[in-house]
Amino acid sequence: MTEVCLLPGPVSLSATVQAAMQQPPLYHRGAEFLALFDSVREQLSALVGGRDVALFLGSGTLANEVVAATLSAEQCCSPGPCGLDDSNQMGNQPSHKGLGYSGSHGLILENGEFGRRLVAQAERFGLHPRVLTWPWGTPWDLDAVAAMLDEAPPGSWVWGVHHESSTGMLNDLPALIRVARQRGVRVCVDAVSSLGGQPLDLSEVFLASGTSGKALGSIGGIAIVFANRAEISQLDLTRVPTYLDLAATQAHAGPRFTFPSSLLQALAAALTEYATPAQAQVRFDQYASLGLYVRRELIRLGHRPLANEHHASSTITTIAVPAGWTSEAFVEFCRREGFLIGGQSAYLSERRLVQIATMGATTREECAAFIQHLASLSWHSPSCGS
């Protein structure tokens, strides 16, 4: 039985992407690889409004680690570990370097699992941001954000998740950028699950993270960070871990360290879907249409998405499992019929949630078959799916 992949990662891969992964390996210092590496960076930059691109080996979580490390460098003022002020121990007064901002002057927006993770990552790098928190499935309250940023010193930052994939919610990034710009506050954004899923303008964003393995439709393994090279080059990153040095990675002609060509070739193949603005819009429209179809059919069957329609993502829909079911049993019930959906992660299972993702090469016909499968659910008891 052929399984239909409706997972939020790994996503369903097109034949073109799969073929690209099977190409003979390229030497990561060779001319052919370097040309492809530069081309991928240029395409990604064009896709988001012209930001400079750094590519790292790793997941979207690694990309967010790079963002946190870069923010922590702004408060690195002493011989102590990056992000920590050891001035009292060393008998020195701190003298901020780089842009002159303190990395501690930050605000993180949390309305789902991945916003919570941003808080944890920031704290690990010695940042102590304020946090605005909303219940899962509730969009950012931008009036509350504005009030908090009114108290922030110039050069502060705000960091949030654009597509909060734990809930299937698309937060209002353009509005956040407007609110922050009016107050001289820089925006950092986790665009891991939104990159490639809908139009995304990062031209006024300070730092942003992405990945190859979500809506772009490639295999996971490349962490993407967007930033303005001129701004980043002013920071003192000497105490940032070598692998997370954003400025050095951006400035390097190719990858700084070993980089498997199969991942790069797969991403290059996936980006052909976005080769021109017109092609990219076709891709975005396809995602929007398929996501709307899935949400409407789920509602028809009594499975209401966690995110309301106005804030719904086009590529991930999160629903609660029916009464009497666990997430694990529901996922297994679907798997036995050939449909792979998300729900195994603790942050989902403990809330009895599951996810249907329509990223990558997923088709309407596959989604229709899944909906037909769900329509038979009333004929099964939870014990049948356990």
List the pLDDT tens digit at each of the 386 positions of the chain.
689 999 999 999 999 999 999 999 999 999 999 999 999 999 999 999 999 999 999 999 999 999 999 999 875 443 333 433 333 322 222 222 333 344 457 999 999 999 999 999 999 999 989 999 999 999 999 999 999 999 988 789 999 999 999 999 999 999 999 999 999 999 999 999 999 999 999 999 999 999 999 999 999 999 999 999 999 988 888 889 999 999 999 999 999 999 999 999 999 999 999 999 999 999 999 999 999 999 999 999 999 999 999 999 999 999 999 999 999 999 999 999 999 999 999 999 999 999 999 999 999 999 999 999 999 875 565 654 44
Closest by Cα among 177, 182, 143, 178 to 160: 177
How confident is the model at residue 86, as a pLDDT?
35
Contacts 24+ apart (CB under 8 A), 76-85: 76/103, 76/236, 76/238, 76/239, 76/240, 81/126, 81/239, 82/125, 82/126, 82/239, 82/240, 82/241, 83/125, 83/126, 83/127, 84/126, 85/126
Closest by Cα among 184, 160, 156 to 174: 160
Q: Which CATH number, 3.90.1150.10, 3.40.630.30, 3.90.78.10, 3.30.465.10, labels domain 276-385?
A: 3.90.1150.10
Closest by Cα among 262, 216, 285, 162 to 9: 216
- Domain 15-274, what architecture? 3-Layer(aba) Sandwich (3.40)
How confident is the model at residue 339, as a pLDDT?
97
How confident is the model at residue 233, as a pLDDT?
86
How confident is the model at residue 381, as a pLDDT?
57
In sequence order, which residues have a C-beta less than 8 Å from that of residue 325 and are 6 or more positions away? 333, 352, 382, 385
Helix axes 261-270, 31-47, angle to 10 degrees: 40
Domain spans in the chain, listed from the N-terminal domain onward: 15-274, 276-385
What is the token pair recorded at 138?
């509730």
Closest by Cα among 261, 240, 170, 220 to 60: 220
How confident is the model at residue 382, as a pLDDT?
63
CA gap 73, 227 in Å, rounded = 15
CA gap 160, 137 in Å, rounded = 15
In contact, 114 and 347? CB cutoff 8 Å: no
